[in-house]
Amino acid sequence: MIYSIIDRESKKPVEYIVRFPESEVTPEVEAGLPKAVKTYFTYRCEGARRDLRIILKRVKYGLIIGLGLSAVLLIFGFYLFSQHTNDVFGQVIVGSIVIFCWVALWDPIDLFLHEYLIQKGMIRIGVKRVIHSTVRVEKARVGPDGMPEHRE
């Protein structure tokens, strides 16, 4: 649902129409459904915020461990390279260490750029557009397939 809201114009208000068969629309449904929809999406946003905190912890600890290992390995690699400047062994060691550092830092950077930032944007859209939207219950006739028909 949030993906369909992204495609809409951001400045226009969002209104949801929920169609029920006429026989099932009671005053309780008309009064309670808008609150239930907003409560559901509020709950989903809170769950997404909890997931964001977990992702941010993974990024933080991944960066701490990755940068710490990278620093130690780079110091060790430069020491080995200074001892073996002219032979292939020194170049292989330095190249291997650079690749290891790149791999060690890949996951935290990937998590931050691709999961954390996108998820944060989705939460922002969910809060601004979905939770603060208008939800309206509409009575509809039931079609032959049992689904509510839309009245124009």
Token pair of 40, please? Answer: 């559901």
Task: Write the pLDDT tens digit of every residue in 20-52.
Answer: 777 778 888 888 888 888 888 888 888 888 999
Give the predicted TM-score (pTM) of the model: 0.64
DSSP, residue by residue, 91-113: HHHHHHHHHHHHHHHHHHHHIII
Give which of 57, 63, 56 is closest to 101, Cα–Cα. Answer: 63
Task: Write the pLDDT tens digit of every residue in 125-145.
Answer: 777 777 778 888 888 777 767
Task: Write the pLDDT tens digit of every residue in 64-99.
Answer: 999 999 999 888 887 877 777 677 877 788 788 889
pLDDT at 108: 92
